Chains A and B, each alone.
Chain A
């Protein structure tokens, strides 16, 4: 698993959505990357993970200093809830870590999968702190797309009720 795992960029899903909203209002859904920084008050540290996350989800295309919405990105930005969540859920399931966790809860008896197991497997490729962060980010995204949820008392991932 470790070798197919690309680390998730640590950006809150809310900021990714905010990025899409912003691009939706620009002509052609396109913007110079540098313009995202200053005027919007974002630091590079905050901005790069967000654009990277949007790219990994297939919602934007980045080329020659420009960032542009893809067709899927355009559709998602235009959608209202709950359609937006459903679309995002589909995009999320293409990411390996999130897909793996989802498969695990789907297959497990009782629909629950232990977080510690995933943590240990991630620690084969990442440091302990980074493994924790990866799971937190995955959870944040997955909750939005209602792909899976987390029970802190039992430390288990589970399928959210439909």
Chain B
């Protein structure tokens, strides 16, 4: 007979404690934010422009230090860049002077992997996102969707515990964005990919509902959490024409209004 206590709750991977961000001395952009993210969870941050969601993501990734508050990764406070996370950027942020394979291997290089292993790993993730054949291409030769695939492969290549995505599909056309969303969900579910926790920032409610286990809604001026919606009950795949999905989207629009 299994006791409820023996079913351990998944550990908190990420915890934001009283995080606030100020501009200068007086202007509060964000906070205070208290947020918890579990392992193997797909969490979305949704909100209008100016709600500080991108700032929050950068704080989580460790490229920005919050004015006040702590970020804990696996219990330990973050001091500098979050090496257990990797970011995907809205504008792709690829190095124009590096070939695709070198772009993907960039994070591995800084972690000190020898060249042969770097290449092998980079090739693995290039194949995984479907870019095989383009290893020796330069970013300027690629379409926007492909550039983001490089960004995705680059982030996955360092095998982070947490994948942070900052409006990754907003610069893409509708069809490509759709293909990419499906790809991300496939990779998330795939046993080949270690990364099981994803933090997605988006301005699209439809996107959040289509992908996440949980959605955190942010309000602007200053940015703070307005609401949290648990979507784990909603079955996948979440096609936009399903009535349940449409209802949830409507409900969330109402929340923001």
Contacts and interface: CB of A to CB of B under 8 A. Distances in A.
User: Is chain B in direct contact with chain A in the complex (CB below 8 A)?
Assistant: yes
A54 to B, nearest CB: 13
A152 B138 contact: yes
Contact of A42 (B138, B143, B173): B173
A12 interface: yes
A140 B141 contact: yes
By size class, the interface of chain A is: 20 to 34
A103 to B, nearest CB: 19
Interface residues of B, number: 19
B173 A146 contact: no
B77 interface: no
Contacts of B146: 12, 14
A139 B143 CA distance: 13
Given A14-B146, A145-B133, A136 B175 contact: no
Interface in B118-137: 127, 130, 132-137
A21 B133 contact: no
B133 A139 contact: no
A40 B133 contact: no
Contacts of A143: 133-134, 137
Interface in A146-160: 146, 149-152, 160
A55 B130 CA distance: 23
B204 to A, nearest CB: 14
A95 interface: no
Given A17-B179, A143-B137, A41 B174 contact: yes
Given A15-B176, A41-B174, A42-B173, 18 more contacts: A12-B143, A14-B145, A18-B145, A18-B176, A18-B178, A18-B179, A19-B175, A21-B175, A21-B179, A40-B173, A81-B130, A82-B127, A139-B141, A143-B133, A143-B134, A146-B132, A146-B133, A160-B133
The 4 closest A-B pairs by CB, nearest first: A18-B175, A12-B143, A143-B133, A146-B133
23 contacts: A12-B143, A12-B146, A14-B176, A14-B179, A15-B176, A18-B145, A18-B175, A21-B175, A21-B179, A22-B178, A40-B174, A40-B175, A41-B173, A81-B127, A81-B130, A81-B132, A85-B132, A85-B133, A136-B141, A143-B137, A144-B134, A145-B133, A146-B132
Interface of B: 127, 130, 132-138, 141, 143, 145-146, 173-176, 178-179
Interface of A: 12, 14-15, 17-19, 21-22, 40-42, 81-82, 85, 136, 139-140, 142-146, 149-152, 160
